[in-house]
Each structure stands twice: as structure tokens, then as C-alpha cells.
Structure 1
Amino acid sequence: MLSLETIITFFSASLLLALVPGPDNIFVLTQSIFQGKKSGLMIVFGLCTGLIFHTMAVSLGVAVIFQTSVIAFTILKIIGAGYLLYLAWQIFHASSEKIDTKNNKFIDYKKLYYRGIIMNITNPKVSIFFLAFLPQFTNANLGFVPFQMILLGMLFIIATVLVFGSIALLSGTLANVFNKSENSQMILNKLASFVFVALAVKLAMTKQ
């Protein structure tokens, strides 16, 4: 079992890491402004579900494959970059109609949830990060190490939900500003599309 000191230290570090600007929180920020805070929260839940995948991958040793195999790493990041470009294309050609963020029957929240999952699990850097980060807080003398890493992964997910959820709630209020006119919605579409292209390029250029 993890000590209280380890839990506090790890959780504090996780909160700080979640606050550092990166593809995931930028993704949440963009989506929340684009379609409202509820959409942003669904993305957050999707991303955190993806973190469960990475936690299990590290605990079971699967993440080592992405660290040692150039082919596996390259294939996964190409899939991830391709998916981001697909999202950019969809948003760029989206309708410029206003979005009612309080009562919108046209937003597929389940699709947004799955979008968060796909974006997270197709980023091999997350698994490698977990592979480097989680073991630092484990202790073989305290019991089964894979179980300790699962507990740490759950703590990291809680920290991520708190930080990313706050981003979604705060930035979601900005959606109302952009929904006041058709031109502002069109500009937002283009900006969101640019962000996704930038994230795709960044992921595609990521080295192992």
C-alpha cells in the first residue's frame, strides 16, 4: 500500500503536470469554447478513460513496446496525427450556425467522449511518460508493484479531472461570446481547426 507521504507528493506533482500547457488541455480548452462546457467535460472524461488504458499498459508492461519499438511508436503516432487532421477538416467545414450551449440537441456527447479516448490512447508519449513517471513512486517493499502503479494511475486521473474539468467549466462560458454572431462562430471554427492541425503536426514530429 502507498504511504500517505507518497500519495500527497504524487498527487501534488500530478496537479502541476496537468496544469502545464499541452495537447490534451489545449484540446479541452478549444472544444469547450467551440461547443460549450458540457462538451468540454465529455472530452475530459474521454481523455481520462484513455489514461486508464495507459495505466494498465504500464502496469502490464505493454508500454515498453512503444519505448523499444520504433515501428509501433511510429504507427500509433501516425494514427493519432491522422485523427487530429480529420477533426481539423470536420471543424473547418462545419456550419457557422450559432450553438445553443444550454440546450443543444445536435451535439453528440457520446461521440465527443469517444473522441477524447481516441486522442489519448493514440498518443504513445503518454504511455512512455507513465512508464517513466509512475515507477518513481513505487516501492517493492510495500507490496505488488503493478497494483501500486494502478493506484498511482487512478490518482493521476483524479488530478487530471480536477484540472481539465476546471478548464472546461471556465472556458465554456466564453462560448456564449462567440455565439453572438455568425462571423464570430466562423472565426472560431477556423481557429479551432488551426489548433488541431498544429497538434497533429506536433504529434507527427514527436520523436521516440
Structure 2
Amino acid sequence: MYVTPGPNNAMVLTSGIKFGFSKTIPHMSGITIGHVLQVILVCLGLGKLFQLFPEIQNVLRIMCALYLLYLGFKIIGSFSKIKEDSSRPLKFYEAALFQLVNPKAWTISTMVASGFLPKDEKLVISIFFISITALIICPISIS
């Protein structure tokens, strides 16, 4: 899901073409840190909810799978064009805050929480490993 086209990938591609790799690094770093924080917060919130109501985790898995199928059908055969021409690369904090309104980032965070969080007491350890994984995969997928 990280490497599929989305708002972050399109914006980083545009920024890299217009401003070069080195001026796009703050943008990429902001996306990565913003998304990792989002994953941690979603996992903490949903993790506690899953411990109280385990059946919600299965419902959320099904909902996420259906949403992915919906996105897949929307993507097939359609190629979006970047419409906005930005005059400067995004700053670190702008890219980090963008994750709050990025539907793909929310989908990934929710999928990770519903798919990989344990139902036992090892929630913090699991969130740590999920966060490290996101910290490694996210910059690779957008660079």
C-alpha cells in the first residue's frame, strides 16, 4: 500500500522534478515522521479499543479490504494529472501536517492497526515494531 500512487507520491514526484532531490528531502522527511506519528496514535487508540471489543478488529479488517478493492477499481485505467503548480517545495511541518488530511495515510494506519495489532497485552511492543517498519518503508516508497 505504501508504494501505490497517492497524494504523497505525486507531490514528492512533482517537487523532485521541479526543485531537485535535496530540496525535496524536508518534504519526504515530513511525510515519514507525520505518518509514523499517525500510525502510533491510531494503533494506540484502536489497540485499546480492540482489547475491549475484539470483534471490532475483524469488522475493521473487512471494511479496509472492501475500501482497498474500491480504490483498486478507481485506479484501474485512470491516471491523474497533477493540476496545481507549487512555487516552492513543502516544508517539513507542512508535509507532516498533510498526513492529517491524507485519506491514503489514514487507510494505511487503520489497516496496520486492524491487521497487525495483537489482542493480548503486548500492545506497546507491537506498536514499536510497526512504527519502525513504517519508518523504514515510508521513505523508500516515496523517494
> TM-score w.r.t. structure 1 length?
0.44
2:115 to 112, 136, 148: 136
Q: Higher helix fraction: Structure 1 or Structure 2?
A: 1
1:103 aligned partner:
none
Aligned with 2:2: secondary structure? helix
Aligned length: 109
State which of 153, 159, 173 in structure 1 corresponds to 2:131: 153
- 1:20, CA displacement in angstroms? 1.0
- State which structure, 1 or 2, has the greater radius of gyration over its C-alpha atoms: 1
Q: State the distance in 2 between where 1:40 and 1:59 align.
A: 29
Compared CA separation, residues 122 and 62, structure 1 to 2 (3 A):
farther
1:30 to 2, 14, 17: 14
C-alpha displacement of 1:24 = 0.7
> % of aligned pairs identical?
18
TM-score by length of 2: 0.61
Name the CA shift for 1:20/1:47 in 2 (closer, same or farther; >3 Å).
Answer: same
Return 5+ residue gaps in structure 1 as ranges. 1-16, 68-87, 95-106, 166-208
Aligned counterpart for 2:105 among listed residues 107, 111, 126? 126
The one-letter amino acid paired with 1:164 is I
Q: Deviations over 1:3-51 (max 9, x none)?
A: xxxxxxxxxxxxxx22211111111100111111012222110001111
RMSD: 2.9
Flag the 1:145–1:134 CA change in 2: closer, same or farther, 3 A: same
Residues 1-208 of structure 1 aligned to structure 2 (within 5 Å) = 17-61=1-45, 88=84, 91=86, 94=87, 112-140=91-119, 143-165=121-143
Q: Secondary structure at the match of 2:99?
A: helix
Give how far 1:60 is off.
Answer: 2.4
Contact 1:59 1:146 in 2 (8 A): no
Distance 2:118 2:25 in 1: 34
In 2, Cα distance between equivalents of 1:120 and 1:149: 19
Between the aligned partners of 2:107 and 2:41, the Cα distance in structure 1 is 10
Q: Distance in 1 between matches of 2:5 and 2:96?
A: 19
Letter in 1 for 2:23: S
Separation of aligned partners in 2, 1:118 and 1:57: 14
